[in-house]
Structure 1
Amino acid sequence: MFSLVTLFVLFVFQPFGTINDTSSYKILRLSGYGLVTFVALLLSGFIEIVLLRYDFYKPLRIMLISGLYILICALFNHAYFVVAFLGKWHWQNQMLFIVYIFAIGAFPLIFMYMLNRHASQFSIDETPQPQQNKQSETLPLELEQITLVGDNKSDAISIALEHILFIKAADNYCEISVYDGHAIQQTLLRISLTRLLKQLSINSAIIRCHRSYAVNVAFIHSYSGNAGGLQLTLKNTPIPVPVSRSYVDNVKAALLLTPSAC
């Protein structure tokens, strides 16, 4: 997308003095900027994936990664400018290319930010919800009751799905932790975690995150760790919930914490 935007700006508006180039192969030379921009973005994306493995201050990480993209694209484009046009490197021109890349990239950056922001809001608020009062600010608002049936058919519980914090499997039982707005309570049901989760709808907010755990993503406050395993911190409880390696990508995708393209 960035490469196409670069070519569109160069071909249509011909900024930065390119309009004065009267050579017959000007379009071909300008096309080189799209190619080097594409290569620079591939390299920047790889470095971004490496940086996302480290857990540090999120605003700093956003600024660092954004600056990284601009700097690498500026270096690659200036290098192409030196080879194709200028013939020698000048640091003043390099600084100008940083400004050029920022100016050209500002519009697609803003567009992608707004798109991701909208996607994040849509994933959280898929269905319209009524006005909430102050006593239920931390709770999901849909309180539809669901009946979970154990291995013994007479062993069943009715519960508001949105009140479930997490589910922990132990032997042949599942311990369901529920937050009712005032306190956390545990309920035991004789059933395996796999069979219990099959009773939930396919688009349920409760997802499996470990061989022995399932978590309600609406209650996840933060996470720590790396791709080898995460620890989830939930709202309203100090109890950490582990995420095993095989479920890390699923949990991150549910929270929209990392880009899914790679």
Structure 2
Amino acid sequence: MSKRYFTVSLLMGSIKLNRLITLLKEDLKFLLSIALGIYLFLLFFQPIPFDQFDFNNRLLFAAGFVGIIFFFQVLIRGLLRSFLPLSRFSKDELLMFSYSGIFLITTLSSLAIAFYLRYVGSVTITFHLVFKVIFICLVLPVLSTIYDAFSSLKKRLEQEIQEKENMQKEIRHYQEGYQNQSIELISVHQADHLNVLVVDLLLLRSADNYVEIIYREGSKLKKKLIRNTLKAIEQQINSFSGFVRCHRTSIVNVFHIEKLNHEGNSYWLKMKNMDEPVPVSRQYLLKIKEVISVMG
């Protein structure tokens, strides 16, 4: 039992260590670039007194200063991210986690640098100097937190783009079979009717006591009036999900929408192979935008 427990513990530790190494590799380039910026800042602006050193020792002393900040940043950041299940945290908990990480890294690195300055550099510790040390130590964890936020946002955006592409593929696949189905539109007394393929039907529009049907026949655009209400015709096409109302007078085939145009508060649709604009009321505007977004 103890041997099995030891083996499982060793395996879990190995997995976490590999995860830690992977995370460090992803962040190393960014962290090193920020550390180099801090190093150059120390050399050129000299916020820390380096007068007691010659040029070569000044370079080494500044490198040690930055090395302490870099060490605590990599250590604490890597350990927290590899051993804590961040995916289970809420947004508020993640925000608190980020602030706690900044505080922990800044505190430990500031204390370590204070001892480094006093016992390695023989620098007199003053309140003004401590303030500058804390400010410098804050730079790396704060920029790392901002970097994490942008990286998370980028991954989320890429995921949403991928989901949208997958949805568009499913729609195209569905469209191939869907648009070859036939629709029968019947007048109010069943005295007149029209059979048309979904792929050929562009627009249904109210016209007094009639419904104007705009459809394709071959390469030509045709119109037919059927005596009925638009509401009744809408019920006849309920089983076909490719139609959406854009105005109280109009229902369009979403696969024939080319573009949504607007001027001021007025919106209208440009339909494929049709010059006449189709009005869009504000009541149905959001739905039309969603449909266009999904259709790409």
Alignment TM-score > 0.5, same fold? yes
Which of 118, 131, 139 is equivalent to 2:166? 118
Q: How far apart are residue 254 of structure 1 and its match? A: 2.7
1 or 2 for the larger relative contact order (CA 8 Å, sep ≥6)? 1
The 3 A distance-change label for structure 1 pair 189 and 128 is: closer
**Counterpart contact for 1:82–1:88, Cα < 8 Å:** no
Partner SS for 1:126? helix
Who is 1:146 aligned against? Answer: 183
**Counterpart contact for 1:232–1:240, Cα < 8 Å:** yes
More off after superposition, 13-22 vs 235-244: 13-22
Residue 200 in structure 1 maps to residue 200 in structure 2: no
**Counterpart contact for 1:206–1:217, Cα < 8 Å:** yes
- Report which of the two structures shows the higher radius of gyration computed on alpha carbons: 2
Partner SS for 2:236? coil
Who is 1:190 aligned against? Answer: 227
**Counterpart contact for 2:215–2:222, Cα < 8 Å:** yes
Q: How far apart are residue 196 of structure 1 and its match? A: 0.5
What are the Cα deviations for residues 43-96 of structure 1, in whole angstroms up to 9, with x where unaligned?
Answer: xxxxxxxxxxxxxxxxxxxxxxxxxxxxxxxxxx6x776556435476676655
Partner SS for 2:237? coil
Q: How far apart are residue 190 of structure 1 and its match? A: 0.7
Residue 21 in structure 1 maps to residue 76 in structure 2: yes
Who is 1:224 aligned against? Answer: 261
Partner SS for 2:174? coil
In 2, the alpha carbon distance for the partners of 1:120 and 1:227 equals 30
In 2, the alpha carbon distance for the partners of 1:213 and 1:36 equals 46
Who is 1:165 aligned against? Answer: 202
What are the Cα deviations for residues 221-261 of structure 1, in whole angstroms up to 9, with x where unaligned?
Answer: 11123996631111111211112122123223333359xxx
Structure 1 residue runs of 5 or longer lacking an equivalent are 1-8, 40-76, 130-139
TM-score, normalised with respect to structure 2: 0.53
Q: How far apart are residue 200 of structure 1 and its match? A: 1.1
Partner SS for 1:198? helix
Who is 1:57 aligned against? Answer: none
What are the Cα deviations for residues 150-193 of structure 1, in whole angstroms up to 9, with x where unaligned?
Answer: 11221222222321111110211111111234221111011110
More off after superposition, 208-217 vs 181-190: 181-190
Who is 1:135 aligned against? Answer: none
Who is 1:247 aligned against? Answer: 284
The 3 A distance-change label for structure 1 pair 84 and 230 is: farther
More off after superposition, 101-110 vs 202-211: 101-110
In 1, the alpha carbon distance for the partners of 2:221 and 2:94 equals 51
In 2, the alpha carbon distance for the partners of 1:149 and 1:128 equals 25
**Counterpart contact for 1:227–1:245, Cα < 8 Å:** no
Q: How far apart are residue 113 of structure 1 and its match? A: 1.9
In 2, the alpha carbon distance for the partners of 1:121 and 1:168 equals 30
For these two proteins, the number of residue pairs brought into alignment is: 201
The 3 A distance-change label for structure 1 pair 96 and 38 is: closer
The 3 A distance-change label for structure 1 pair 120 and 228 is: farther
**Counterpart contact for 2:214–2:222, Cα < 8 Å:** yes
TM-score, normalised with respect to structure 1: 0.59
In 2, the alpha carbon distance for the partners of 1:226 and 1:122 equals 33
More helix as a share of residues: 2
Structure 2 residue runs of 5 or longer lacking an equivalent are 1-15, 28-71, 107-133
Task: Give 1:217's aligned amino acid.
Answer: V
In 1, the alpha carbon distance for the partners of 2:141 and 2:265 equals 44
Q: How far apart are residue 20 of structure 1 and its match? A: 2.3
In 2, the alpha carbon distance for the partners of 1:235 and 1:83 equals 59
In 1, the alpha carbon distance for the partners of 2:76 and 2:100 equals 16
